[in-house]
Structure 1
Amino acid sequence: MDEHTGDLGAVTRPDPDPEELILGRDAELARLFRAVDSEAADPVLILAGEMGTGKSALLDRAVRRAEASGARVLRAEGSESESSLAFSALHQLLRSLRAEMDGIPERQRAALVHAFGSGPAPLGPDLMLVGVAVLNLLSDLGDRGPVLVVLDDAQWCDRASLDVLSFAARRLAGEPVTILIGARSGDHVPGFDRHVPTLTLEPLDNTSAGRLLDLQPTSPTSHTRTRILEQAGGNPLALVELTRAASAHDTAAPPQSAGPLPLTDHLERIFAARQSELPTDTAEALLLLAAMDSTDSAIAAAVGLPAPRDAAWLPAEQAGLVRHTGRDVRFRHPLVRSAVYHAASSGAQRKAHLALAEMLRGAPDRRAWHLAAACPGPDADVSAELERTAARARRRGGHAAAGKALQRAAELAPRREDSARLLIEAASAAVFTGDIAWVEELAAAARARTDDPSLLASAAVLAGRLAVLTVRHATVFSRLTEAAEQLALSYPAAALDLLADAAVVRFYAGEDTQRHRIADLLRRLPEDASSAGVRTWVMAVSDPFDERAGLVALLPQLATEAETRPEQLTAVGIMAWILDETPQAVRVFDEAFHRWELQGALPEGLGGAVAWAYVERGRWEQAREACTRTTAVGRAVGLDHAVACAATVDAAVLAFQGDASSARARAEEALDLIDPLESRSVAVYARRALGAAAAAEGAYETAYDQFRMVFTADGTPMHYHACYPALADLAAAAVRCGRGDEAAQIVERSANTLADNASPRLRALISRARGLLANPEDAEPHFRAALADPVLEYWPFERAQTLLDLAEWLRRRRRITEARGPLTEALETFRRLGARPWIERARVESRAAGLDVTDTAPDALAELSPQQQQIIRLAARGLTNREIGEKLFLSPRTVSSHLYRSFPKLGITARSQLRDLIEGTLATARQQG
C-alpha cells in the first residue's frame, strides 16, 4: 500500500529505470521494431510528435535493438545552430565512414568530400552526384549487414543534407538499409513529407499517464495529481517535469504561469526557474553549452567548458537539466537548451558566442555564425564574414545555407544599399532550393530597402525564375508581366528577362490571352543586338508559328554565339525543338552536354524539351535518362511541375515500347501533380501518352477518347504547340473505332490554323492523318506527301508509322510487291527503337505481304522491363554496376539485381555475352526486316 505524505501530496520512490518510462507506446515500438528488423515494406519511416512526446526515447530503443542484432547504426541529430551549415547533418551521419569512402568511385568521393568542405572542388556542385555517393556508401555497408540510419530532430537539419538523404532514401528499396526520422508534428521535412509513412505519437491515454506519474521518484497524489494530468495533456515530458516542479517547489500544485501559455513555454519557464537556483559556475557552463548547441570536445575545454565529470555539472544534473552520455554532457531536452539560452542576459549570450568564435578560427563558417549571434547591431565586418560563408556554401552546393548566410549578412549590413544587394544574392541562392515563398520574401525585403532600379529588376527576375517552375501559372504570369511593364522604360533588359520567363509560363499554361499580352509588352521594348537572343526566345516560345521562318533562320547564328556557354546552347536547343527543328535541337543539346553536364540544383524552364527532342529523334534511352535526372532533381527540391513534365515524356516512351501499365501509371502521376487548366501542355502530353498506351493494347476507342481530349468540343487545340503532333495518332485511332468524320474535321481545322506556317514535320503528320481518314481511292497522295521530304528521316518513329500505313494501304489494294519495301524499312526501325506493339503489327502485315518473317521473338530484350533494358544496354557498352547506377541514379545492388533477373530471360549466364547479344539482336532485326 502507498505511503502518502499529505503535505506534498506525493509518494516518494527511487529513480525509475529509464527503460520503464516508455509507457503506452507498445504499438509504436512494435512498428519501429518491424522497421529495424527489415520486416516493413518501406525503407523509411518518420516518427512524428509534439515536443516532449518521447520521439528520442523511442529512437534510442530502436537503436539498441538494431545494435543487439548486429546492425551498423549511423546517427545524427539536427541542431538549431548548425541548420545553416551546408551538409552538417550529413557529415555528422557519415563521419565514421572515412575508410568506406575510399571504396566508392573517385568522382563520387570527391563530390562528397568537397560537400564536407575538404578537398578540391569537382567540375561543379552537383547535389545528385553527392546523393549517388551516399547511396553507394549505404549500399556498400548493406553488403556487410543490416544498416540503420537515424536522423533525430530532422526539423533542424540543414536543407542540403535532407535533399541528399531523401534522394538516397527513394532508391533503397531492396537494400538492407532502414532510415528512421524523428521530427516534430507539423514541421516540414523537405523530401520526406510526401509518400513517406509517418508514425505519429499521440498524447498518452489517462491510464498510461497515471502509470508514468506512479513511476516518478516523488509520485503526486490528490489535487496535485489531477492538476498535473490536466496541464500535461498526455505529454510525457510535461508529466515528468511538472511532477518534478511540484515536488521541488514544495507546493500543492504545479507552478502557475501568469496567464495561459503553450505547454512548451510553460515547460521552458520551469527549466529557467531551476537554472536561476544554480551556482554561478554551473550557470555559466550551461550557457556555454547552450550557445554551442552541440557538444564539440575539440573546443569545449578551450572555451572554459568543464570536463564531463567536473563537479560543476552536478547541480545541473540534479536539477534534471543535463545528462551524461558517454564522454560528454548534453541537455536532457531541446527545451532545456532553449530555456537556458533565453534566460541569460544579452550580454552573457554575447560573451559566450564571442568565446566560441575565438576558438573557431579554423572553422570559419561556424565562427561567422557565432560572431553574428554576438552582434548587438549592424556590423560590416561580420556581414562580410557571412558573405564569405555563403560563397563557400554555394561552391559546395549548399544553396539553402548560402541563402540563410546572405540573409543574415543583409540584416547586419550597415548600409541599406549593401543590405539590398545581399538580399538579392540571397534570393539567387534560394532559387535553387525550390522554396518560392522564401524567394519572394527575400525579394520583397530587398524592394523595401532600395530604390535602385537595377536591384529591383534583379529581385523581380530572380523571383520569376523559380516561379515559372511551380504550378501556379496564372498568378505567376500576372506577376511577371506586371513587373515587366513597370520596368519597361527604366530597365528594359530586366523587363525582357521577365518576358522570357513569362513566355515559359505561357508555354505551360497555353492561354491565348497570354500571347497577346507578351506581344504587346515586347513591342514596347527597344531592340538591340545584345537582346536578340532573348527576344528570339520570347517569340519562339510564346508563338512559334507566327514568324517561324524568320525565327528558324536565326538559330544557327544564336548557336554560334552561345558556343562556349552551355546554358545558352541549351536555350537555343529548346527554341529549335519548339520550332520543330528537332535535328538541330539534338545537335545543340549534345554539344551543350559535352561542355556541361547540366549541373545545378534546378531543372531549367522547359527542360522537358531536351527529353522530347531525344524521343522524336529516336534516342529513347537518352530521353529516359534525361527524365530520370529531371525527376530526381525535381523531387529533391519539391518542384512538382518539373516532375510532371518528366513523367509525361517517360510515359510516352513506355507506351511506344509496349509497357502500357507503366505508361498509364506515369501519365496519371503527372496529372495528379498539376491542375490541367493551369498546365495545359502537361495535361496534353499526359493524354497523348495515355492514348498511345491504349493504342498499344488495341483499345482504340479508349485511345481515341484520350486523343480527343487534347482538343476542345469544336476541335480547337487545347494547347498551341503540344496538340498538333497528336493529329495523326487521333486519326489512326479514329479509323479503327468508327470516328473518322469527327477526326477529319479536327484535322482540317488544325491544318487551316497552321496554313503555311506549319513545319515540314507537322505537314507530314497532317498528310498522314489525311491519308488515314481519306476514302481508300484518295489516300495514296497523302501518304506519299507525308514521306516526300528527306528531312523527315530525323523523326524515325513517325516516319516508320507512315511507312506502315502506306504498306497496309498498298497491300489492301493488292499492290503487294510495292508494299514490301515500306514494310521492311518500317519493321527495321521499330526493331531498332524497341517499339514492341509496332513490331508485332509490322510482322503481321509482313507475313500477309509474303515476307519471310519468323515467329520467334525478334528482340531478345522484349521480355524485359524498360528499366532492365536500359541497364542491359549500358552494361553491354562496358559500364560497371557503379557507373550504370550513377547514370540512372540507382544503387549498384539494384543494378546487380536487375541484371541477375534479366540474364535467364535473355538466355545468357555471363556479362561478357551482353555485347554479342545486343549486336546479334540488331543483326537479326535487320535480316528479318
Structure 2
Amino acid sequence: MSDRAWGVGTDSPSCDPSDADTAHPAELRRLLEASTDPHSRGAVVVAGAPGIGKSTLLDQVARRVGASGGRVLRAGGSPSEADLPFAALHQLLRPVAGVITELPARQRTALQAAFGSGTPGDPPDPMLIGVAVLTLLSDLATGAPVLVLLDDAQWADHASLDVLAFVARRTGDDPVSMVIATGEPAALPDLDGHWTSLELAPLERPAAERLLDRLPRPPAGETRTRVLDQGEGNPLALVELARTAGADAEPWASGNPLPIAARLERRWVERLNGLEPAARQWLLVLALAADDPAETVLTLLPGPADRMWAAVEWAGLVDRTGSRVTFRHPLVRSAVYQSASFDERRAAHHALASALTEDPDRRAWHLAAATTGADPEVAAALEDSAGRARRRGGYAAAARALERAAELSADRADRVRLIAAATEMAVMTGQLVRVERLAARTRAWTDEPTPLAVAALQTGRLMALTSSQAAAFQQLMAAARQLTTAHPEGALQALAAAAVVRFYSGAESQRDEIGAALSDVLRALSATSVPLLGRWLMAVADPPGGAGLRAELAQLITAARQRPEELHLLAIAAWILDETGLAVRAFEASLALWSSAGPLPDGLGGVAALAHLEHGRIARAQAFCAELAAVADTYGLDHAAACAAAVDALAAAMRGDAVNARELAERALSLIDPAESRSVAVYAYRALGISAAVTGNHEDAYARFRAAFEVDGGPVHYHASVAALPELAAAAVRSGYHQQAADVVERTVRSGETHSVRTQVLIHHSQALLADPDYAETHFRAALTLSGPADRPFEHARILLDLAEWLRRRRRIAEARPLLHECHDVFRRLGARPWATRAEAELRASGAQIAAAEPAAFGELTPQQQQVVRLAALGRTNREIGENLFLSPRTVSSHLYRAFPKLGITARSQLRDVLDTAAPSDVVTSAGSRGSRPRNVAR
C-alpha cells in the first residue's frame, strides 16, 4: 500500500512544548548550558521515573539547539532493537550517512562493517569504530555545534552505548555534546566521570500547578485537587489525569501503593479493553516492531486513513501528526504488550517474522519470541544471527543470540556448545557479571568436566583483567586441573593464563602450583618434549627456569615470522627474559601481521609498552599505553587500566614530567590491591620515586623505591623489582640510607638465583653507587661491559652519567668528557630532560662546549601535545594523528595551535627544525594503526 509511508514511535504526552520550561526549568538550563556553552559542554545522563519528563526535556533542548543553528542527531532505544548491534548508533547517524564516505579509509571500513555494509572481513576493531564516530562528529561540528541525544537508553544496544561512552571521553575541543535519557541508570554500562548525572525529581506542588494551568482545559476545584494529589508530581500522570478527569468510571484511589508507572499502565489497559480486537492486535504489532517500521511491516497494518486510528487516538493511546503515528509514551507500548494474551503476542511475532524476510536478524528474534519449546530451526537462525553480530563487532548481541539459541536447542550437546560460545562472546564485552551468569548456566546444564572447565577458564581470563588476581588464579588453576585428563591442550591454555596472573601477582606459591600442574599436563599429553606454550608459561612464571628458552629465542622468532600469535608470545618471553631488543623486533613483526581477534587486550597488555620504553622508544610506549587505556576505559577493565597508567607514569617520569607521572601512578595504585598485583604496584612505585628524585626530594624517592622490596630486602616482585636497584642506591646515597640500600642489594646478590645479564648490570650499577670510592670503578666498568646500549639505552646512559660524575670528582676530566657527551646525546634523543640537564651541568663543569639543546619549550608541552607534535613532524595529517592517539581531528588541531607559539614557530613545516628526529622509530604509529590489538594470551 503506497499510502503507508508513515512512522511509529514513542513520544512524550502531547502537551505544549513549553511544558519543559515550566516542569523542569533548572534542569533545562543545565542541559542547554551543557549543549551550547563552549566552556561547559559535556555529556549528561538524565535519569528519572517513567513520565517524569525526560523526553519532553530532550525535545525542548533539541528545539533550542536547532533554532540556534546547531545540528541535532537523535535516536531512541527500543526493546525490539536491544539485541541488534549498533542499532542505536545507526539510527543516530542515518541522517548524515553521506559523511561516512568521507572518513579515512580504515575508519570508513570499520563503521560500515559495524552497520553490516561494506566488504565482509574480520570483525571491526571497536576502538576504530569509536575513532570513526569521533572523527565524523568532529567533521560535522566544523560548521555548527553538534548535539547527540539518546532517549530510552536503557533499551539501547550495548555496542552503541560503548561507542558513545568512548566518544564522550574524547570530544576535547570539539563543539560536540551528548545527552542520554534513561529510566534505568543501572542498566547502562559504566559511563565513568566523563558524564554528569542529572536526576529528575517529581514536581513540587507549585510547578505541578503551573503545568496544569498550561493545559488546554485545566481542571478546577475538587477535580484539580484530586489530580494534584494522585499525580504525585509526575508530569505524565498529571497530564493524563487532567485530560480524562471525570470521564473515567474508576478514578485512582488516594494512597494507592502501586507506583505511578503501574497505575498509568493499568489506566491505559482499561482503555485498550474498550477497543475492537483487531485494533488491539494492530497496536500489538506496532508495539513489537521497531520505532521506524520497515515497509514490509507496514503492510500488516491498516492505512493511515482507517477509522481504527481515530478510535485509538481518542482513547489517548497514540498521537497523530500528519501521516506519522506515535505512541503517547513508552508506557503505552508496555501496556499494549502486557494486556495481550500469550497467543496474541505469539501471533503478532509470527506475523512480523513472516514480513521481515529481508531482515534475518529481526526475523530470528521474532521467531524466538514466538517459540516456547525446543526448535532447532529457530536456534539455527539465532546462531546465524550471532555470527553476523560477531562479524560486525557486536559481541554482546552475539552472546545474547547464542544464549537464546541454546535455550531453544533440542540436543543437549548443542545446548552446551552454544552456551560455551555465548560465554566466549560475553568475555569480549568485558562484563564479568554476564560471563559469570553464563558460566552458571553451563553448570546447571551439564556435569561434564570439559565444558565446565572451559567456562571457568573464560571467567578466569576476564577476572585477570578486571578484578582480584588471587581469585582469577584459583579459577584458572581449577580449570587446568579439571581439563588435565580429558583435554590436556585446554589445560595448557589455562596454565598459560594462570602464568599471566602469576606475573602480575608475583606470588611465589603460584609459581610452584603452576610447575606442579604443568608436570601433570605433560604426562597427560605423553609429550616427548615440552610444547612451546609450556616453555613459554614457565618462562613467564619463573624467568630463571626459562633460561633454556632464551638461547633459542632468536631462532624461534625467525621461524615464526608469518605467525603473529606465536611471534607475540615469543616477544613477551623475550622481554621477561631480558632480551629487550629481540622483544621489540618480535612485537613489531607480530603487529604488522595481526588481524582482529576481538576487542580485549592481551593478558600481558603492558609488556609491549614496557619493552619499547626500555628500548628507548618512549613515544611508542606511550602510544601502546594510550591504546590499552582506551580499551580498558571502554570495557571497564580496572586492572588493565592500572597497568596502562603505571607504565605511562614511568614514561612520564623518564621525561621529567613529575606532575603527570605522579597522577598516573596514583591512579594505577587506586585501581589495584598492591598485595595482589605486585608488578603494577612496583612500576607505580618506581614512577613515584623517579618523580621525587628529579624534583630533589631524595628522602621520598628512597621510600618509594624501597617499597619495591620486602622488609627483609627481598623483591616485592620477582621481575619488576630488580630494575629499581640502581634508583634505590642513588636515592639512598643522597638521603642517608646508604647501609639500608646496601643490604637490599646484597640480599639480591645472595638470592641464589641465576641472574640474567641485565640483572647483573643492575647489581653492578647499584654496587658502584654504594661502594667505597676505591672499589666503585670496578663495578662501573663491569656494568658497562655487560650493558647493551642498543637494547636499553636509558639504563646504559645512566651508568655512563654516574661513572662520568665519579670520574670528574676525581679530576679525571679527560676520561669523563666522552662519557658525558655520549650519555647527553642519548638523554636528549629520548627526551629525558632531568638527566640531560645533569649531563649538561657536568659537561660545563668539565669545560666542554655543549651543542644547542632541544627547545626548552618542547618539554613544557603536555605529554599528549608532545605526541601530537612528534607525529606532525613526521608529516602525519590531523586525521592520521587522531586515529593513532584516539583523538578527534579538531582536538589534534587544537594541540598544534597551542604548541606552535610555545615552540616559536608558525608553520607545520618548521616542526622538523625544532625537534630532534634522530630516532624516528620512537614516533611511529600506535599499535592500533598497524594491526588490531593482540588477543588474550592463549585464548
For Structure 1 versus Structure 2, the TM-score category normalised by the shorter chain is over 0.9
Q: Which amino acid aligns with 2:267?
A: I
1:423 maps to 419
2:693 maps to 695
The superposition leaves residues 717-755 of structure 1 with CA deviations (integer Å, 9 ceiling, x where unpaired) of: 2222211111111111111111111111111112222x4
Q: Which amino acid aligns with 2:511?
A: R
2:326 maps to 330
Matched, 1:443 2:442: no
Matched, 1:489 2:489: no
The superposition leaves residues 752-783 of structure 1 with CA deviations (integer Å, 9 ceiling, x where unpaired) of: 22x45211111101111111111222211111
1:4 maps to none
Find 2:339's aligned residue among 339, 343, 351.
Answer: 343
2:936 maps to none
Structure 1 length-normalised TM: 0.93
Given that 2:23 and 2:235 are in contact with CA atoms closer than 8 Å, whether structure 1 keeps it comes out as: no
Q: What does residue range 97-246 of structure 1 map to in structure 2 within 5 Å?
A: 97-121=96-120, 124-213=123-212, 232-242=231-241
Q: Which amino acid aligns with 2:45?
A: I
Matched, 1:881 2:881: no
Shift of 1:419: 1.0
Q: What does residue range 842-861 of structure 1 map to in structure 2 within 5 Å?
A: 842-853=839-850, 857=854, 861=858
1:6 maps to none
Choose 459-468 or 61-70, whichever is displaced more: 459-468
Choose 548-557 or 770-779, whichever is displaced more: 548-557
Find 2:502's aligned residue among 486, 501, 506.
Answer: 506
Q: CA–CA distance in 1 between the matches of 2:119 and 2:320? A: 39
Matched, 1:759 2:791: no
The superposition leaves residues 501-546 of structure 1 with CA deviations (integer Å, 9 ceiling, x where unpaired) of: 222222222222222322232232225269612212321222222x
Given that 2:652 and 2:863 are in contact with CA atoms closer than 8 Å, whether structure 1 keeps it comes out as: yes
Choose 362-371 or 847-856, whichever is displaced more: 847-856
Given that 2:829 and 2:916 are in contact with CA atoms closer than 8 Å, whether structure 1 keeps it comes out as: no
The superposition leaves residues 69-109 of structure 1 with CA deviations (integer Å, 9 ceiling, x where unpaired) of: 01111011011110110111110000111221222112211
Sort the Cα spacing of 1:704 and 1:413 in 2 relative to 1 into closer, same or farther, 3 A.
same
2:261 maps to 264
Given that 2:352 and 2:366 are in contact with CA atoms closer than 8 Å, whether structure 1 keeps it comes out as: yes
Matched, 1:395 2:394: no
1:667 maps to 665
Sort the Cα spacing of 1:309 and 1:659 in 2 relative to 1 into closer, same or farther, 3 A.
farther
Q: CA–CA distance in 2 between the matches of 1:865 and 1:563? A: 37
Q: Which amino acid aligns with 2:366?
A: H
Structure 2 length-normalised TM: 0.92
Sort the Cα spacing of 1:922 and 1:287 in 2 relative to 1 into closer, same or farther, 3 A.
closer
SS in 2 for 1:763: helix
2:67 maps to 68
Shift of 1:281: 3.3
CA RMSD of aligned residues (A): 2.4
Matched, 1:539 2:535: no
Shift of 1:677: 2.2
Q: CA–CA distance in 2 between the matches of 1:438 and 1:216? A: 46
Shift of 1:126: 0.7
Structure 2: tracts of 5 or more residues without a match: 1-12, 921-939
Shift of 1:582: 1.2
Q: Which amino acid aligns with 1:875?
A: A
Q: CA–CA distance in 2 between the matches of 1:56 and 1:224? A: 27
Shift of 1:226: 6.3
Q: CA–CA distance in 2 between the matches of 1:872 and 1:22? A: 46
Sort the Cα spacing of 1:166 and 1:340 in 2 relative to 1 into closer, same or farther, 3 A.
same
1:619 maps to 617
Choose 779-788 or 593-602, whichever is displaced more: 593-602
Given that 2:122 and 2:595 are in contact with CA atoms closer than 8 Å, whether structure 1 keeps it comes out as: no
Q: Which amino acid aligns with 1:908?
A: I
Given that 1:460 and 1:498 are in contact with CA atoms closer than 8 Å, whether structure 2 keeps it comes out as: no
SS in 1 for 2:465: coil
1:909 maps to 906
Sort the Cα spacing of 1:372 and 1:542 in 2 relative to 1 into closer, same or farther, 3 A.
same
Percent of matched pairs sharing the same residue:
53
Q: CA–CA distance in 2 between the matches of 1:76 and 1:15? A: 19
Q: CA–CA distance in 1 between the matches of 2:252 and 2:134? A: 53
Q: CA–CA distance in 2 between the matches of 1:21 and 1:883? A: 43
SS in 2 for 1:897: helix
Sort the Cα spacing of 1:382 and 1:327 in 2 relative to 1 into closer, same or farther, 3 A.
same
Shift of 1:237: 2.5
The superposition leaves residues 448-494 of structure 1 with CA deviations (integer Å, 9 ceiling, x where unpaired) of: 22344433332222222212211211222222222322333333222
Q: CA–CA distance in 1 between the matches of 2:55 and 2:156? A: 15
Matched, 1:432 2:428: yes
Q: Which amino acid aligns with 2:568?
A: T
Shift of 1:424: 0.5
The superposition leaves residues 167-190 of structure 1 with CA deviations (integer Å, 9 ceiling, x where unpaired) of: 122111211111111122432422
2:930 maps to none
Q: Which amino acid aligns with 1:886?
A: E
Q: What does residue range 502-651 of structure 1 map to in structure 2 within 5 Å?
A: 502-527=498-523, 528=527, 532-545=531-544, 547-556=545-554, 558-559=556-557, 562-596=560-594, 600-651=598-649
Q: Which amino acid aligns with 1:338?
A: S
Given that 1:744 and 1:773 are in contact with CA atoms closer than 8 Å, whether structure 2 keeps it comes out as: yes
Shift of 1:280: 2.9
Q: Which amino acid aligns with 2:368?
A: A
1:824 maps to 821
2:316 maps to 320
Sort the Cα spacing of 1:263 and 1:782 in 2 relative to 1 into closer, same or farther, 3 A.
same
1:86 maps to 85
SS in 1 for 2:713: coil
Higher RCO, 1 vs 2 (CA within 8 Å, ≥6 residues apart)? 2
Q: What does residue range 704-853 of structure 1 map to in structure 2 within 5 Å?
A: 704-753=702-751, 755-789=752-786, 791-853=788-850
Q: Which amino acid aligns with 1:100?
A: V
Given that 1:228 and 1:254 are in contact with CA atoms closer than 8 Å, whether structure 2 keeps it comes out as: no
Given that 1:509 and 1:681 are in contact with CA atoms closer than 8 Å, whether structure 2 keeps it comes out as: yes
Choose 338-347 or 122-131, whichever is displaced more: 122-131
**Which stretches of structure 1, 4 residues or more, deviate above 4 A after TM superposition?**
213-232, 242-246, 854-860, 919-923
Q: CA–CA distance in 2 between the matches of 1:727 and 1:48? A: 52
Sort the Cα spacing of 1:531 and 1:316 in 2 relative to 1 into closer, same or farther, 3 A.
farther
1:11 maps to none
Shift of 1:848: 0.9
The superposition leaves residues 250-276 of structure 1 with CA deviations (integer Å, 9 ceiling, x where unpaired) of: 34644997xx44443333222222111
SS in 2 for 1:198: strand
Sort the Cα spacing of 1:779 and 1:26 in 2 relative to 1 into closer, same or farther, 3 A.
same
SS in 2 for 1:791: coil
SS in 1 for 2:120: coil
SS in 2 for 1:61: helix
SS in 1 for 2:716: coil
Q: Which amino acid aligns with 2:95?
A: S
The superposition leaves residues 121-172 of structure 1 with CA deviations (integer Å, 9 ceiling, x where unpaired) of: 3554211111111111101111111111111111211111111122122111
SS in 1 for 2:410: coil
Q: CA–CA distance in 2 between the matches of 1:228 and 1:569? A: 71
Q: Which amino acid aligns with 2:376?
A: A
Given that 2:829 and 2:918 are in contact with CA atoms closer than 8 Å, whether structure 1 keeps it comes out as: no
Shift of 1:808: 0.3
Q: Which amino acid aligns with 2:822?
A: E
Sort the Cα spacing of 1:163 and 1:200 in 2 relative to 1 into closer, same or farther, 3 A.
same
Q: CA–CA distance in 2 between the matches of 1:895 and 1:18? A: 39
Choose 392-401 or 561-570, whichever is displaced more: 561-570
Given that 2:82 and 2:157 are in contact with CA atoms closer than 8 Å, whether structure 1 keeps it comes out as: yes
